[in-house]
Amino acid sequence: MIVYLVCYDVSDDKVRERVAKVLLGYGNRVQYSVFEVSVRSPAELERLCAQLRAVADESADIRLYRLCEHCRRIARNLAGERIVELPAVVIV
């Protein structure tokens, strides 16, 4: 899995909701306009980007930052606690 941190600044409410809906199909919301998403291949990343381009207008500022394995392992919150990765599937 390749993990990306995706953040966006979208002023239009409807566009913002569509962007969030696309991202929820690939990962988890960690803050209001910040998602951690996983893709299996560069082709899947391109599919995600194509879906985002389809729902967002040119004024949308959407950024994707790749998180390497090392970076994810050392990530901490402000209290110094490790950021726990959720499993891909949760059975309730």
26 sits in which H/E element: none
- Tens-digit pLDDT profile for the chain (92 aa)? 899 999 999 999 999 999 999 999 999 999 999 999 999 999 999 999 999 999 998 888 999 999 988 888 888 888 998 886 655 554 65
Name all domains of the chain by residue range, CATH numbers in brackets: 2-74 (3.30.70.240)
Give the predicted TM-score (pTM) of the model: 0.83
